[in-house]
Structure 1
Amino acid sequence: MAKKANVTGIAAEIGMRNPIDLLEREVLLNLSKTFAVLSQPFEELFKEYGITPVQYNALRILRGHGGPVSVYQIGEQMLTRQPDLPRLVDRLVTLGFAEKNRCENDRRVVWVTLTRKGKALLKKIDAPLDQLHQDQLKHLTRDQLKTLSDLLFLARNPTAQAA
């Protein structure tokens, strides 16, 4: 009779019958599973306010600039790559959260501005969003959170130096 493999961690969590043979694969599976688990409550929160996480991200960028932002700049600062930014911006405009105007000097450039309605929406979301962030990771110490944040930064920036 064959000996049963000792499957633990993410391998056991996702129903694998054998241990993961490559540590880098285990890390990426852990990242994917963690993102799925942690992002679900955010999707539900944003849905309560009639927006998606991607729309929130764009609104957050607009608020951070405090003035007109080009569609290109929004794309550069999004947390996840968005292939159809003009459609995303159009949706925000339709919802009344943003306005857009063409640049007078270069008609290819579209400036996007957060509206009062968009600012009010973000203000409503701020406290519940902060609370969700804190609730999800309250089981980790400050040192653990800092280490995790530093490691994640290094994972996506291989040429960066450790802090």
Structure 2
Amino acid sequence: MAENLSLKAFVVLMKSSKTIQERVKQDIQSYGMKTSEFAILETLFHKGRQTVRQISEAVLINTGSITYVIDKLETKGLLEREHCKEDRRVVYIQITNKGTELMQEIFPKHQQVIEDLFEGVSKEDMRVVIETLKKVGLKA
């Protein structure tokens, strides 16, 4: 039977994705957070004020679940809500000073964990992986 490279690539992608996700989850948990909490704070930290819908699209969490996580982060004083003056249905979420200080402390450590995962992989190989995964993602 001939080797099916598509199936092999799929299996390798899925296994490595699972392993990477577990390592990232472990890192985030070491800061006393859940992955969803970290993802929301990271989005606000890097992109600034966002609507709930924008955050939901950025972190790939549905808006129903995201409200619960936002409530928890707001209770901890890490983010705050601001109602849009022009459209009361729109609520902006922004990171607080406390949230910014936290992310300034932990994000560089988190980034280092990710960089360590790619240690030994050349920049050219990373570019190839990025372009290849984009192609597969667009095809799907």
TM-score tier by shorter-chain length is: 0.7 to 0.9
* Corresponding residue of 1:149: 130
TM-score w.r.t. the length of structure 2 is 0.85
Relative to structure 1, is the Cα distance of residues 22 and 94 closer, same or farther in structure 2, using a 3 angstrom cutoff? farther
**Which 5+ residue runs of structure 2 have no aligned equivalent?**
none
* Corresponding residue of 1:41: 23
Relative to structure 1, is the Cα distance of residues 115 and 46 closer, same or farther in structure 2, using a 3 angstrom cutoff? same
> CA separation in 1, counterparts of 2:103 and 2:70?
16
* Corresponding residue of 1:116: 97
Q: CA deviation at 1:92?
A: 1.5
Structure with bigger gyration radius: 1
Q: What is the RMSD of the two structures over their aligned residues, measured on CA atoms?
A: 2.3
**Which 5+ residue runs of structure 1 have no aligned equivalent?**
1-18
Give CA-to-partner distance per residue, 1:13-46, whole Å, 9 cap, x none. xxxxxx9985444333322211111122211221
Q: Do 1:20 and 1:26's aligned partners in 2 also have CA atoms closer than 8 Å?
A: no
> CA separation in 2, counterparts of 1:153 and 1:22?
21
TM-score w.r.t. the length of structure 1 is 0.74
Q: Do 1:70 and 1:111's aligned partners in 2 also have CA atoms closer than 8 Å?
A: yes
Aligned length: 139
Relative to structure 1, is the Cα distance of residues 99 and 20 closer, same or farther in structure 2, using a 3 angstrom cutoff? farther
* Corresponding residue of 1:5: none
